[in-house]
Amino acid sequence: MDEFNIEDFLKYYISQILIVVIFVIVGLLTCEYYTYGMQVPKYKSSTSIVLTRSTNTDQTITQNDINLNKNLVSTYREIIKSRRILDRVIEKLELKINYKSLASMVSVSSVDETELILVTVSSVEPKEAKNIANEIAKVFKEEIVEIYNIENISIIDKAVLSKQPYNVNVLKQFVMFTGGSFALATLLIFVMFFFDHSIKSVEEVEKKIGLPVIGAIPKYEEKKKGRK
């Protein structure tokens, strides 16, 4: 093929539509197998804590208290995932995992320009995720008193049981697999079309040689005679 012609390509694409159908069906079957046979649903539960004024004084909260707490947020985020905190959580909940495994299940984030810290736990068991998140907040609140000798932690929202897995979106996955299969089929057909140098019509012969075709011999298909 010397140059790309969109009209010729569309005709060729339609003639190879079976390839598209096969690819899409395979994509849908693959998606179904992955979603319901291989993918492991995971659940998330989150608890939020906030840094408050230390209860060691009777003074009202000041700007200095706010600034101090904001500076402590990044430190507290690291302490929450420390071995000191998580080992106690493992012990209290009698978990059958080690520190590294639990640490990989926990993520800690903070809201910009605030004293709010969000502790999120992911697990294949929704109840386990909820219990771990709540226990981390509880243990952290207790340990911070010993570490800094101040009580400036308050739990805002306790973790609740998650009913839907966060990593499974059936509709989105089916759309992605179907779209990917369609794109691969289209790419394959384009490559086939690009490297197909066979002449398919009288018009193409005239275009290639620059001369009119005087006559063309139609394709002859022999008909089988039935027995009498």
Residue 225 has pLDDT above 80, yes or no: no
Across 65-79, 115-129, 144-158, 205-219, which has the greatest mean pLDDT?
115-129
Mean pLDDT over 188-193 rounds to: 90
Q: Exposed, middle or buried by CB within 10 Å (0-12, 13-18, 19+), for 44? A: buried
Structural domain boundaries, residue 197: 6-37+168-209
Mean pLDDT for the chain? Answer: 83
Residues shown for the chain: 228
- 91 with 55, same domain: the answer is yes
Residue from 9, 37, 18, 21 nearest 181 by CA: 21
Residue 62 lies in a domain: yes
* Count of C-beta atoms within a 10 Å radius of residue 110: 16
The percentage of residues in the chain with a pLDDT greater than 90, rounded to a whole number, is 53
The answer as to whether 152 is a domain residue is yes
Tokens of residue 224, six digits: 């089988």
Q: Do 189 and 138 fall into the same domain?
A: no
What is the model's pLDDT at position 212? Answer: 65
* Co-location of 30 and 92 in the same domain: no
Could you tell me the CATH number of the domain that includes residue 93? Answer: 3.30.70.1130
Position 228 confidence tier, pLDDT thresholds 50, 70, 90 = very low
Is the pLDDT score of 36 beyond 50?
Answer: yes
pLDDT at 224 over 60: no
| pLDDT tens digits, one per residue of 76-118 | 889 999 999 999 999 999 999 999 999 999 999 988 777 889 9
The predicted model scores a pTM of 0.68
* Domain assignment present for 217: no
Q: Which residue has the higher pLDDT, 8 or 213?
A: 8
* pLDDT category of residue 8 using cuts at 50, 70 and 90: confident
Residue 224 lies in a domain: no
In the prediction, which pLDDT does 72 show? 78
Task: Give the pLDDT of residue 185.
Answer: 95
- 61-72 average pLDDT score: 59
Distance, in Å, from the CA atom of 72 to the CA atom of 11, rounded to the nearest integer, reads 67
- 60 compared with 98, residue with greater pLDDT: 98
Judge if 86 and 174 occupy the same domain.
Answer: no
From CA 206, how far away is CA 213, in angstroms rounded?
A: 6
